[in-house]
Amino acid sequence: MVLLHVLFEHAAGYALFAVKEVEEIGMLLPQVEESVLNIGKFNNIVKLAAFFPFRSAQTALENINAISEGVVHADLKLFLETNLPPGGKKKQMLGVSDAKIGAALQEELGLSIQTTGVVAEVLRGVRLHFHGLVKGLTALAASKAQLGLGHSYSRAKVKFNVNRADNMIIQAIALLDQLDKDINTFSMRVREWYGYHFPELVKLVSDNSTYCRLARLIGNRKELSEESLPGLEEVVMDSAKAQAILDASRSSMGMDISPIDLINIESFSVRVISLAEYRLELQEYLRSKMGQVAPNLASLIGEVVGARLISHAGSLTNLAKYPASTVQILGAEKALFRALKTRGNTPKYGLIFHSTFIGRAAAKNKGRISRYLANKCTIASRIDCFSEVPTCVFGDKLRDQVEERLSFYETGDAPRKNLDVMKEAVKEAGEVASEMKRKLEKKEKKRKKREKRKLEALSTGEGEEEEEDEKMKSSGKNEVNGDSAKKKKLKQQEEEAAPTNGTEDTPTTTKKKKKKRAEEEEEAQPVEEAHSNGVEDTPVTKKKKKRKSEAMEAEPAEEAEPEVSPETPQTEKKKKKKKVKTGDD
């Protein structure tokens, strides 16, 4: 008799199911297939033996990550050791869905593992009826657990993507190839469009971007004159060619063109020029990115060819796993399978044909140099993929080796031994790595110092702000009205400015003081009379305020008249005497 247990990993937890005992495991398959859709029949064959729910979402994520990597988690090990019955006379078997985790369990616990046959059908039925087989678990709760774990698992996978740097290279080289096609198509359209007006320019200028710049600069060829020569020379970078363009414009056989057509041609030329400029920027970006991700491969075979190899392989890791024979024909799959089908000669090279080495080699040596170059590319990609500190030392040495091999095929000079070259490369790489570490340490120290300075500056700035706030609060308490401080300052400024204006202003200030004293005496007399008659104080204070306001208004009017005639003081005194008499009456 065979006793089969099936392990099922769910977002809610681990479940262990016991399958009906049979003499042979193959006898279960037809019964399980019939009962998969019916939960009643399925319960007769499969029963829940144990269930281990995950304590939290973090625990579930850790367990599912371990399963995906083929590692036995501590929770899974404890669960199986606790719930699997001890082995006796009956043969024990554990069914799992993934062969990778099955091999790890077999090595860790010494179990007999089954992954095919009836196990797949049982797991299909368990997956369908899981919420019905486990007590207390509803379909809604199971779907929520799956949704939450799916989001967290996918997020972790995206963050932990090893090839995230390679992705930028793959996208950049794909965009570069597309831009080459687009620029070529659009520039041919400009040539055809503008060629109706100025057909001779096509023969004089072969470069696409230069032609578009000239089409935008020239516009109507009839307006081209000797004054336009400096502009033409700046675009063409050749005075003879600029003069030839000018001469051709005078005797051109092209048709006349309307202004609206010229506007459209110029606007389209601007678009093509901008695309060409962006292509140069993208190529520079690709060069810098390849220097960071795969410096050895870039220095050996070039940035563009290296990026194409990475793009075709899918990632730098995949390229590093390829053998040299695969790298040699990478990109020539169609020709390879056609040759295998027709039993013809297989291709000698694929994408590496675009490197300069194969182009420089003789026809009889192209296959030999391509095989040697593919070997060196494989070594360079593996160094780039698995080295901690990326340097281009090995790439430069490998390039020198390919150069020596090329010269050996041509002249017969024996190249250096690979062992000697690699010893030199290892020594230089160690020196470069130590220097880079020193630079990184210096940068880290500088960054920490900057952060400390910023924190100190922030703390001192906060202290100064608090002091200013306290000063503002104290000044606010002293002021009865909001504008009183401003008025005081204005008065002080006016008083200080008065003596500086000269000797003529001095009598006016003394007159002002006399007027104020006279007004105060006049105000004091009615106040005394009011007290003697038993009148309330409130109306008097109102009169005081009115007179003060009138006096304040009178002051700026007097200040506006700096020069006062000598007769004015006598007339003012007479008026004051009259006012005093009327008050006594």
Burial class (CB in 10 A: 0-12, 13-18, 19+), 303: buried
For residue 436 the two structure tokens come to: 């880079």
Question: What CATH number did the domain enclosing 253 receive?
Answer: 1.10.287.4070
Do 316 and 381 contact (CB within 8 A), yes or no? yes
Q: Does residue 512 fall inside a structural domain?
A: no
pLDDT at 546: 46
* Residue ranges for the chain with pLDDT beneath 70: 1-2, 21-28, 87-91, 159-164, 462-585
pLDDT at 175: 96
Q: Does residue 216 fall inside a structural domain?
A: yes
Residues 6+ apart with CB under 8 A from 256: 197
For residue 567 the two structure tokens come to: 């007769």
pLDDT at 377: 94
191 & 127 share domain: no
For residue 570 the two structure tokens come to: 């006598």
Do 115 and 97 contact (CB within 8 A), yes or no? yes
420 & 333 share domain: yes
Can you tell me the distance from the alpha carbon of 239 to that of 242, in angstroms, rounded to the nearest whole number? 5
Can you tell me the distance from the alpha carbon of 263 to that of 244, in angstroms, rounded to the nearest whole number? 25
The domain boundary residue, chosen from 430, 446, 472:
430
Can you tell me the distance from the alpha carbon of 211 to that of 199, in angstroms, rounded to the nearest whole number? 12
Residues 6+ apart with CB under 8 A from 182: 275
154 & 6 share domain: yes
The domain boundary residue, chosen from 215, 249, 284:
284
pLDDT at 24: 58
146 & 198 share domain: no
106 & 230 share domain: no
Greatest alpha-carbon pair distance for the chain in Å reads: 142
141 & 221 share domain: no
Using a cut of 0.75, tell me whether the model's pTM lies above it.
no
- State the residue for tokens 């075709």: 312
152 & 35 share domain: yes
275 & 298 share domain: no
Count of domains in the chain?
3
Q: Which domain holds residue 303?
A: 294-430
266 & 219 share domain: yes
How many helices and strands (H and E) does the chain possess?
Answer: 26, 5
Can you tell me the distance from the alpha carbon of 276 to that of 208, in angstroms, rounded to the nearest whole number? 9
Q: Does residue 133 fall inside a structural domain?
A: yes
Question: What CATH number did the domain enclosing 339 receive?
Answer: 1.10.246.90
The domain boundary residue, chosen from 430, 455, 484:
430
Q: Does residue 548 fall inside a structural domain?
A: no
Q: Does residue 435 fall inside a structural domain?
A: no
Q: Does residue 468 fall inside a structural domain?
A: no
319 & 400 share domain: yes
Q: Does residue 489 fall inside a structural domain?
A: no
Helix (H, G, I), strand (E, B) or coil at 200: helix
Q: Does residue 500 fall inside a structural domain?
A: no
pLDDT at 132: 82
Helix (H, G, I), strand (E, B) or coil at 571: helix
Question: What CATH number did the domain enclosing 123 receive?
Answer: 3.30.420.220
321 & 401 share domain: yes
Chain-centroid distance of CA 142 in Å reads: 37
For residue 234 the two structure tokens come to: 């700046």
Helix (H, G, I), strand (E, B) or coil at 389: coil
pLDDT at 312: 93
Residues 6+ apart with CB under 8 A from 22: 1, 2, 28
9 & 129 share domain: yes
Do 327 and 310 contact (CB within 8 A), yes or no? no
- State the residue for tokens 């196990």: 119
